[in-house]
Amino acid sequence: MKPMLFPGAEAPYIFGHRGYSSRAPENTRSAFTACVEAGIPGAEMDIHRCATGELVLTHDHNLKRITGHSVIVEETSYSELMQMDIGSWFGSEFAGERTMRLEELFEEFGQDLYFDVELKQMDSKDHGLAAEVARCITDFRMQEKVLVSSFNPWVLRQFSKVNPGVPFALIYSASPQLPWLLRRGWGLFAAGGQALKPHHKQVNWWSDFFYHRMLGRPLIPWTVDDVETARRVLKKGAVGIVSNDPLPLLDLIPDTPRTAR
């Protein structure tokens, strides 16, 4: 029997990667609005704690790719971040998009979506990111609509100490940018957690047999952008999917009405 990560939601759980990032600039209000309008039930996003303590949605530690400015999120105040356009790089129609806070996301979309909140932290120190995310989840009563995840097992350990009853998952991939110990999911034994998020190419007989069947950890692979791959990973123990183009995957959820296209 598949474990229930989101009470009341039907598995497989479908998440728009950084919102609906193939239709709108990633981690923006427009991307989450696109998820809601398309009938996507879940959204994944990336959370940093900026220099003044706010929890902000963006993927990269350095914002040059999406703003043209080489600034480090953790070294930049929220007021400075709010002056940067994070939408024009994707398309002129998104000019003027500004950085969202996690509180805004929950307030505006908490009734419409469930969430995979990825914690972005480079080192093993406690910078308060995990505790602040836990506080925000509790303040907005989102405990049953959130999965917390990270590549960083140490920030997940920090989250486990202040965990408001929220499941959390270790992310892993074979990327050479990661320490080799973190490329096969071994960080699970340092972090603990209720689930694993492998890159979809690492969903195989081993992850199905060892992680899913022996250890009882559900798998939520990323980023799956076609139905054929989705069906493959679901047969190998996946209970959810993170996708840049999640709309075609809605047919995998039983009895789910299709809405906007």
**pLDDT, tens digit, 9 for 90 and up, residues 120-169:** 999 999 999 999 999 999 999 999 999 999 999 999 999 999 988 999 99
Of all residues in the chain, what percent carry a pLDDT higher than 70? 96
Specify the CATH number for the domain of residue 109: 3.20.20.190
Please, which pLDDT band fits residue 181 given cuts at 50, 70 and 90? confident
Tokens encoding 105: 């996301």
pTM to 2 decimal places: 0.95
pLDDT of residue 258: 55
Residues 29-50 have a mean pLDDT of: 98
Half-sphere exposure (Cβ direction) of 177: Cα atoms closer than 13 Å:
6
pLDDT at 1: 34
Domain that holds residue 106: 13-47+56-61+100-213+226-252
pLDDT the model gives residue 164: 82
- SS3 per-residue string spanning 187-209: CHHHHCCCEEEEEHHHCCHHHHH
**Residue 105 dihedral angles phi and psi, to the nearest 5°:** -60, -50
Q: Is residue 111 part of a domain?
A: yes
What single DSSP character describes residue 111? T
The answer to the question of residue 83 being in a domain is: no
Q: Does some domain include residue 218?
A: no
Give the mean pLDDT of the chain: 94
Q: Which residues pair with 115 in a beta bridge?
A: 43, 146
Distance, CA of 52 to CA of 42 (rounded, Å): 29
> Measured between alpha carbons, how far is 256 from 261 in angstroms, rounded to an integer?
14
Task: Identify whether 121 is part of a domain.
Answer: yes
Strands 42-49 vs 55-57: parallel, antiparallel or unpaired: antiparallel
Whether 187 is in a domain gets the answer yes
Residue 76 domain flag: no
Q: What share of the chain is helix, strand, coil (3-state, %, to 5)?
A: 35, 20, 50
* Residue 41 forms part of a structural domain: yes
Segment 77-134, tens digit of pLDDT = 999 999 999 999 999 999 999 999 999 999 999 999 999 999 999 999 999 999 999 9
Whether 147 is in a domain gets the answer yes
State how many domains the chain has: 1
169: β partners? 149, 195
